[in-house]
Amino acid sequence: MTDAPRTADASVELRPKLVGQRIRRTEDPRLLTGSGRYVDDIALPGMLHVAVRRSDQPHARILSIDVGDAFAIPGVVAIFDARDIAGDIRPAIPTSRMDGYYATPIRPLAQDKVRYTGEPVVAVVAESRYAAEDALDQIAIAYEPLPFAIRQVDAVEPGAPLLHEEAGSNVIIARQFQRGDVDAAIAAAPVTVRRRFRMTRKTPVPMENRSYLADWDKRKRALTLHTSSNIPGIVRDVLADCLDLPGNRLRVVAPDVGGSFGGKGSLNHEEMLVCVLAKKLERPVKFTADRMEDLTAMSQAFDELIDAELAVDAEGRLIGLRADVIGDIGAYSVYPWTGALEPVQVVSFLPGPYRMQHYRGRVRGVLTPKPPTGPYRGVGRPSSTFAMERLIDMAARKLGLDPAEMRRRNLVTAEEFPYRTGSGIIWDKSAFQECLEGACADYPALVKARDAARAEGRWVGIGLASYAELTGIGSRIAVAPGMPINTGTETAAIRIDATGAVTAAFGISSHGQGLETTLAQIVADELGCRFEDVEILHGDSALVPMGTGTYASRSAVLGGGAATKSARVVKTKVLKAAAHLMDVPMEELEAGNGLIRARSSNATMTFKEVARAVYSQMGRIPYDQREDLVAEETYDPYLGTACASTHLAMVEVDRDTFGVTVTHFVVAEDCGRIINPLIVEGQVHGAVAQGIGAALLEEVVHDETGQLLTASLADYLVPVATNMPDIGIVHIEADLPNNLGGFRGMGEGGTIGAPAAIANAISDALSPLGIEIDTLPATPERLFRLVEAAQAGMAQDKPAG
């Protein structure tokens, strides 16, 4: 029996476009009902657990390690330090071609000396985590304390104690970007403003702690690593080198991942550790961090000191900007991103979305005895936007110009795209001006409300922040730093099986973005199949030859582009087969919602019927015309595309407690063609919440002795639902970018714009006192000190009698 074409009702809609629809996330039923599968849910036969003894010294030489009575603890199997595994694994080296850069080696356990409090030193392997933890208490480590400089301003000085003697300096990266003669421009400018800005250290605090499980198959001589990572392909490639294994004998799988925010986007010591121990012991080995371990030793972010000066003319138009930045990168460069990741992006993005002729940005990345800084949602741009937007408001206040008007006069306009900034970044095109206008729809009414509140004696203020970022970066930009990986391409492998089901595999890895839904929307639209027939596979290094994961707002642009390319190839094969089966020219066929229809006769076939004919009903399609319904395509956008947004915040500072309440928040963003507005809005809400935390609450604090003072969530404060205002979102879909699909990345924007907008709003609220916010978070204690000093100064300046 064969499947013959049928005649369908001409009114049947074949192409109900899914891209742009508010489709509920297909991941959520399993995640919300507890059916998700995270690394710590996986239990393998014979599995061992590892606990890590960490350094309690910021910088010290390891003199001796005495395991004491650790082996007397029931269940303890083995104890390792760096000497025990030195011949089994090579260090990972985060290389770069940048001049003067030093790549610090990354090892599973500290070798010879420790360089930050929390660095792994000894690993105890036991039948249970409880036994391993108990054994840690029996181990004594003798240290010789070494001198150190805990602050980057001290570590950068000549003669400062060196963390890595072989580097010859604590400054392991230095860059400069320059256009025009900024010194002359500033000297001649009628108005200048200058400040030192600082965003203190943050840590990502994902809901799921880091967790790793390695399983060595001694029959195949192969290793499988289950990891809570958003870069499984990168982890596979580097561990293959470190362990001297071919890639087809090392598989890295990221199952469900409970958030990353960047902290799971680098190679971790413990990932290396479980792999070498599983291979050595020939048993599965699992490590799961507790919350204190993640707060102590997970990669962190920011801690940038930005000395910046902005020059404007009498009408408020920007003339020039110069900045010197010292970035505290911690004790190591992270793999693969290097120590340049955060500080270099600060000076790269500092000019923002503004028109400006003269610019110079200098940056130094400095080693200090703290956990390494690595990826964090927004990477560099929260700090650069904070500094630039504060300078914009300070200049506007000095000129007596409305802050919105100040931005309106300086934002790059549509006629000026593509626009090259002073640091060399090219904004292809985006809705810079339109985002400002979208966010300011209620601005006049808010100004009236603010002024009325001030008349009552309340500290109420409004703040704006405009920014632009590069998203979906292609190979042209990705290869420029000379890192050991290519982050500018993405591959999708799509196949239709004999039942008509569609499987699409990617090298990206979702950790909360809803990619299983959005990528299925793209595939279904491009292929013409039903949405419910599409399965998205991701987070597995074995799926495609090379995939680097999800970071830097790339998955919609690169993953969507790869999905589009592959789906179009498969669709051509489907239509070619259907044309033969239906005896009509291929050009007459259209596909949608799982049907292929001939426009001339209205005859139809289903995808399932075509697949059955291709795979199972031999002879229906001539041998020399038959093609498997599969394709694997790689997409490279070459450059990247700009994404723009303006945030508006209204805040009130309590005159008694100095606590800040965000009373109104609006985001106007241009993320190109919107795949799923529901998911976009969720991303914006979550990112703004994280940005509010950075602005008001979150701060990693190390004391002068190098000890962490914020090792619990009672000390490291994160935002909760009751801190959050209602967030208004204005979607701007202006000219689409020149990439496949017209998509822009937008997952990081809330963390970039919110801190600057809130800082400007607090400064506006306290402007009667002459206060300018230059350090975030703006905690009640900091605000109290600022107000106290301002009021004391005002009292001192007040004439007597």
Which tens digit of pLDDT belongs to each residue from 515-528? 999 999 999 999 99
Residue 622, classified by CB atoms within 10 Å of its CB into exposed (0-12), middle (13-18) or buried (19+), is exposed
Tell whether the model's pLDDT for residue 346 goes beyond 70.
Answer: yes
Query: Quick one: pLDDT at residue 574?
Result: 97
Q: Which amino acid does the sequence have at 156?
A: V
Query: Quick one: pLDDT at residue 34?
Result: 93
DSSP reduced 3-state for 203: coil
CA 166 – CA 163 distance, rounded (Å): 9
Helices (H), 440-559: 443-455, 475-478, 515-527
CA 554 – CA 259 distance, rounded (Å): 16
CA quadruple 703, 81, 333, 373: dihedral, nearest 10 = -40
Tell which wins on pLDDT, 765 or 602: 765
Query: Quick one: pLDDT at residue 484?
Result: 80
- Give the architecture (CATH level 2) of 304-475+638-796: 2-Layer Sandwich (3.30)
- Could you count the other beta carbons within 10 Å of the beta carbon of residue 222? 16
Tell whether the model's pLDDT for residue 636 goes beyond 50.
Answer: yes
> May I ask the CATH class of domain 6-36+489-635?
alpha beta
Tell whether the model's pLDDT for residue 411 goes beyond 50.
Answer: yes
pLDDT (average), residues 200-210: 97
Tell whether the model's pLDDT for residue 237 goes beyond 60.
Answer: yes
Q: What is the H or E stretch that residue 692 is in?
A: helix 677-696
- Enter the DSSP assignment of 620: S
Name the residue among 765, 570, 547, 753 with its Cα closest to residue 670.
Answer: 753
pLDDT (average), residues 754-770: 98
Name every residue whose Cβ is closer than 8 Å to that of residue 370 and which is 6 or more positions away in sequence: 58, 116, 117, 150, 201, 300, 328, 330, 331, 702, 706
- Enter the DSSP assignment of 347: H
Query: Quick one: pLDDT at residue 485?
Result: 84
Do 680 and 731 touch, CB atoms closer than 8 A?
yes
pLDDT more than 90, % of the chain: 89
Cα 593 to chain centroid, rounded: 34
Query: Quick one: pLDDT at residue 5?
Result: 65
Position 735 confidence tier, pLDDT thresholds 50, 70, 90: confident
pLDDT (average), residues 545-570: 94
Tell whether the model's pLDDT for residue 763 goes beyond 70.
Answer: yes
Query: Quick one: pLDDT at residue 14?
Result: 63
Angle, alpha carbons 609-610-611 (nearest 5°) = 90
Query: Quick one: pLDDT at residue 476?
Result: 83
Query: Quick one: pLDDT at residue 754?
Result: 98
- Give the architecture (CATH level 2) of 39-146+209-257+264-297: Alpha-Beta Complex (3.90)
CA 679 – CA 554 distance, rounded (Å): 15
Tell whether the model's pLDDT for residue 190 goes beyond 60.
Answer: yes
pLDDT more than 70, % of the chain: 98
Tell whether the model's pLDDT for residue 797 goes beyond 90.
Answer: no
Do 436 and 451 touch, CB atoms closer than 8 A?
no
The tokens describing 72, both together, are: 């007397």
Query: Quick one: pLDDT at residue 230?
Result: 96
What's the whole-number average pLDDT of the chain?
A: 94
CA quadruple 295, 364, 385, 374: dihedral, nearest 10 = -30
Query: Quick one: pLDDT at residue 11?
Result: 45
CA 716 – CA 779 distance, rounded (Å): 12
- Enter the DSSP assignment of 233: H
Tell which wins on pLDDT, 259 or 7: 259
- Enter the DSSP assignment of 657: T
The tokens describing 324, both together, are: 């010197």
Angle, alpha carbons 451-453-454 (nearest 5°) = 65
Name the residue among 615, 337, 643 with its Cα closest to residue 498.
Answer: 615
- Enter the DSSP assignment of 75: T
pLDDT (average), residues 538-545: 96
Name the residue among 468, 464, 385 with its Cα closest to residue 665.
Answer: 464
Q: Which amino acid does the sequence have at 406?
A: M
Position 4 confidence tier, pLDDT thresholds 50, 70, 90: low
pLDDT (average), residues 340-353: 95
Position 6 confidence tier, pLDDT thresholds 50, 70, 90: low
CA 466 – CA 408 distance, rounded (Å): 10
CA 796 – CA 801 distance, rounded (Å): 13
Chain region(s) in the chain for CATH 3.90.1170.50 = 39-146+209-257+264-297
Name every residue whose Cβ is closer than 8 Å to that of residue 722 and which is 6 or more positions away in sequence: none
- Cis preceding linkage at 777, omega within 30: yes
CA quadruple 503, 509, 512, 513: dihedral, nearest 10 = -70
Query: Quick one: pLDDT at residue 51?
Result: 98
Chain region(s) in the chain for CATH 3.30.365.10 = 6-36+489-635, 304-475+638-796
Position 10 confidence tier, pLDDT thresholds 50, 70, 90: very low
Name the residue among 89, 100, 235 with its Cα closest to residue 167.
Answer: 100
